[in-house]
Structure 1
Amino acid sequence: MPRIITVSSGKGGVGKTTFAVNFALTLSRVAPTILVDLDTGTSSVRNTLDTPVSKDLYHFFRKGQLLTDCVTHLDPTLDPQGLFKDFSFIAAPMHSIEEITNWNDSSRWKLVHAINQLPAEFVVLDLRAGLDANVIDFLPLSNSGILVFTPHHPAATLAAGDIVKSLLFRKLRFIFSTDSPFFRKHGALANQHRMVNELLDQVEDVYEDNLPNLDAFLQDLLMSLGPSPYLETIINVVHSFGVYFVLNMFDGVEESYDTAVRPFVDYLKNGLSAHLKLTNLGWVIKDDA
């Protein structure tokens, strides 16, 4: 099974696909890598690579082709020295098709299963910009993910924070759902289970300021329950939750920090937890040429 790495962004126009393409090309110098274009409304990967495509996600969903048959290798004229011989990609359809742009559950799980069978060491998923089910549903299925934002779009920085918040709460909701392994083990504590989910509702609700973040939630939970499996589990999830981000179109340490990095970090610390592991993987210098 390949290692799956998602690339996402809070909003469009931050260079997500450009980063995803170059990141996948770089990974292919280490091991076989397949880039999958899941930004299915634009087909940006196809346009960026300018390589003839014979089969794409249309053929997978509509024509019943195997996903492995939809893999396209880089045009040799673009790589005359063979530096990227282990790079390939799966293109989105040439035009927006509703059932492929907005998958139902059956199509989504069919695609997830097929991605896990791809013959590569790394699979990079270029997700669509923004926050919707197709983004949030794919992020937890990956081994790791990278957020891309830029100092030139402050709104995209906060939207990237919303992706982190949604993903963390999705993980907590799954752990404390009634069909989870945790519930099967601790389901006898029904009152505690109900209270934990009600408190999570308050933290997630931006209009509710009684519990501004998960740190306040944990303090409240400790006072209410004392040491408990719920408290221990939430602490472990929050403290081990890693956030990896790349700053694109970097144009100076002070300006980029003030307009992008600091608002992003402050948003997560104040709105989620001061204990999240935040890692800046680096930046891409702005090129005015």
Structure 2
Amino acid sequence: MMRDQAENLRNRLRQQNLHSVARTVAVISGKGGVGKSNFSLNFAITLSKKGHSVLLFDMDIGMGNIDILMGNTSGMSIIDFFEYGKTLKEIISSGPENISVIAGGTGLTKLFELEEQLFDRFLEEFNGLLGDYDYIIFDMGAGINDDSTKFMLCVDDLIVITTPEPTAVMDAYSVIKYLNSINQELPFFLVCNRVLSEIEGQETVKRIQNALHKFLQKEIIPLGFLPDDKSVSKAVTNQIPFVLYNSESIVSKSLLEIAARYEDGEFKDDLFLKKSHFLGKLKSYFVGR
């Protein structure tokens, strides 16, 4: 009886620890034009609809377009934090289905160039956000550079977006290979976008899996694939996230399955026990550079 009670207590404490701090997720791609930002937005909305509190942070430096995809360009952005002394909480805007959004922009280039005092302010305020959300999703810019690489190395999970196009597949493999060469413990997830058939999606995922296993001895967790659905382009034209534009579309249902797989997959217990110290890593990479 005492052993059972102790085990139950450990389980409760474990669950509290897992959910006390937001899980940080970077959505990345090897090249532009694969639907990364659209995925980030609709993925965040889908997680929110499933009952999670979500912050979406547009990290696409100079090309931030999350607010455009939402049809909302009137709010503040990260520039207001750097240039006008606003707090991070002040620049958070409300998005569809109760998601929170920090809009990006050219001001993000300054995030990686800040003096230590201002960077500490960013870290301190961001630390205050970690307890407010279940997930913080960073929509990263396409490709990688020295600074974005450091940022990607700090998050808990990396979701790689590709399409079946050979160039997109090769670029996705190259990004994974590069980041894995720096830290082989990074957990990668894979989503294949704009597939014409289930077979094409499966073949694309298998191609990447086989290459990673053969050349890097690296496993990647496939979350699924999204069909090339006309409702997506219509939703973008109307500046409405596609999961809200047509929740019954094939692509919306596929994304729901992807979110459920990420949220409840068999990998969850093992990976979630390995939660990183996001802010500590961020400071070690950027302060004193």
- TM-score bracket, normalised by the shorter chain, equals 0.5 to 0.7
Residues 12-49 of structure 1 show CA distances to partners (whole Å, capped at 9, x for unaligned) of 00000000000111111222111000002112101101
Residue 19 (structure 1) aligns with: 39
Residues 122-143 of structure 1 show CA distances to partners (whole Å, capped at 9, x for unaligned) of 1110000012123311222111
Picking from 198, 210, 216, the partner of 1:266 is 210
- Structure 1: distance between partners of 2:141 and 2:119: 14
Question: For residue 176 of structure 2, what is the amino acid of its counterpart?
Answer: V
Which runs of structure 2 are paired with 1:133-172 in the superposition (5 Å)?
Answer: 133-151=146-164, 153-171=165-183
Q: TM-score, normalised by structure 2?
A: 0.64
Is this contact kept in 1: 2:212–2:219, CA < 8 A?
Answer: no
SS at match of 2:62: coil
- Aligned identity (percent) is 25
Residue 78 (structure 2) aligns with: 57
2:78 pairs with 1:91 = no
Which runs of structure 2 are paired with 1:106-117 in the superposition (5 Å)?
Answer: 106=115, 111=122, 114-117=125-128
Structure 2 residues not aligned, in runs of 5+: 1-20, 232-289
- Structure 2: distance between partners of 1:252 and 1:64: 49
Question: For residue 126 of structure 2, what is the amino acid of its counterpart?
Answer: I
Judge which range, 262-271 or 154-163, deviates more: 262-271
Judge which range, 52-61 or 105-114, deviates more: 105-114
Is this contact kept in 2: 1:158–1:263, CA < 8 A?
Answer: no
Picking from 217, 227, 230, the partner of 1:285 is 227
Residues 247-275 of structure 1 show CA distances to partners (whole Å, capped at 9, x for unaligned) of 111111333444x32432233123311xx
- Structure 2: distance between partners of 1:149 and 1:65: 36
Question: For residue 286 of structure 1, what is the amino acid of its counterpart?
Answer: D
Question: For residue 143 of structure 2, what is the amino acid of its counterpart?
Answer: G
The 3 A distance-change label for structure 1 pair 163 and 65 is: same
SS at match of 2:112: coil
Which runs of structure 2 are paired with 1:141-220 in the superposition (5 Å)?
Answer: 141-151=154-164, 153-171=165-183
Shift, 1:105, TM fit: 6.2
Residue 143 (structure 2) aligns with: 130
Residues 215-235 of structure 1 show CA distances to partners (whole Å, capped at 9, x for unaligned) of xxxxxxxxxxxxxxxxxxxxx
Higher fraction of helix: 2
Shift, 1:116, TM fit: 3.7
SS at match of 2:153: helix
Residue 39 (structure 1) aligns with: 60
Q: TM-score, normalised by structure 1?
A: 0.64
- Structure 2: distance between partners of 1:98 and 1:34: 17
Residue 253 (structure 1) aligns with: 198
SS at match of 1:36: strand
- Structure 2: distance between partners of 1:129 and 1:163: 10
Is this contact kept in 2: 1:251–1:286, CA < 8 A?
Answer: yes
Is this contact kept in 1: 2:158–2:187, CA < 8 A?
Answer: no
SS at match of 2:230: coil
- Structure 1: distance between partners of 2:138 and 2:66: 11
